[in-house]
Amino acid sequence: MNAENMEYLTIALPKGKLFKLSSELFGKIGFTAEGLTEKSRKLVITNEEKKLRFIITKTADVPTYVEYGAADIGIIGKDVLMESGKDVYELLDMGFGKCHLMMAVPKAQKRAKLTDYAHTRVATKFPHIAERFFNAQGMQMEYIKLNGSIELGPIVGLSESIVDIVETGTTLKENDLEEIAYIMDATARLISNRVSFKMKFERIHGMVKALRAVMEQEANA
């Protein structure tokens, strides 16, 4: 880590639903920069006074930037973090962006029990999490990796089931799918590069304490 990198704290923020909540929370502890918006055309947004750098990137890329030290810290959903398998420190459960991973199937083709789906195809953005779950049930499955509209898999005959994240369940209902197995809860997490955490410990630790204080204050308001 060179002298310039030591001077700055670089934060990776994910595009999408977590960006606004993350940037607002950082703003409450004074971690912000002029022009820090999700629609910014600048790839790196800097606050020279406070020696902060913000990277706005695709959600799935945040753990990679943090693991390799391109960012010191980042915000990412627990689901994406577990799927990535990246070697980072998980510092704080941010409490927002709550959802859960589950298995769902077409209502009209629902089988009597979970193990009746063994040796069938499952469409998912999370093949690693899904495989660990089904292995724990003693089930061998065929995994089909998709990046969007997972619900489409069973509708067009690509798969017999899906493993995906759910917030309200509205999309499942609209597509005549039914949740049949809970896998795990997921919320946004603050993660850190392992070297950065040691080399910039005081600054990162102070930031975590400040974030936790804001979160506790809001929870008790």
Residue 218: both structure tokens together: 């809001």
The answer on 164 and 210 residing in a single domain is: no
**Per-residue pLDDT tens over the stretch 114-128:** 999 999 999 999 999
pLDDT for the residue 84: 95
The answer on 201 and 147 residing in a single domain is: no
The answer on 130 and 21 residing in a single domain is: no
The answer on 88 and 12 residing in a single domain is: yes
Q: How sure is the predictor about 2, in pLDDT bands with cuts at 50, 70 and 90? A: low
Q: Which residues contact 133 (CB under 8 A, 6 or more apart)?
A: 103, 163, 181, 183
Residue 88: both structure tokens together: 């980072």
Residue 196: phi and psi, rounded to 5, are -60, -40
Position 221 pLDDT exceeds 80: no
The answer on 133 and 93 residing in a single domain is: no
pLDDT for the residue 4: 60
pLDDT for the residue 3: 55
pLDDT for the residue 1: 57
**Per-residue pLDDT tens over the stretch 87-144:** 999 999 999 999 999 999 999 999 999 999 999 999 999 999 999 999 999 999 999 9
User: In the predicted model, what is the mean pLDDT of residues 189-205?
Assistant: 97
Question: Which residues lie across from 9 on neighbouring strands?
Answer: 52
Per the listing, tokens 């912000």 go with 32
Full domain range(s) for residue 180:
99-185
The answer on 67 and 21 residing in a single domain is: yes
The enclosing domain of 145 has a CATH number of 3.40.190.10
- Taking the C-alpha atoms of residue 219 and residue 221, their distance in angstroms, rounded to an integer, is 6
- Number of domains present in the structure of the chain: 2
The answer on 138 and 214 residing in a single domain is: no
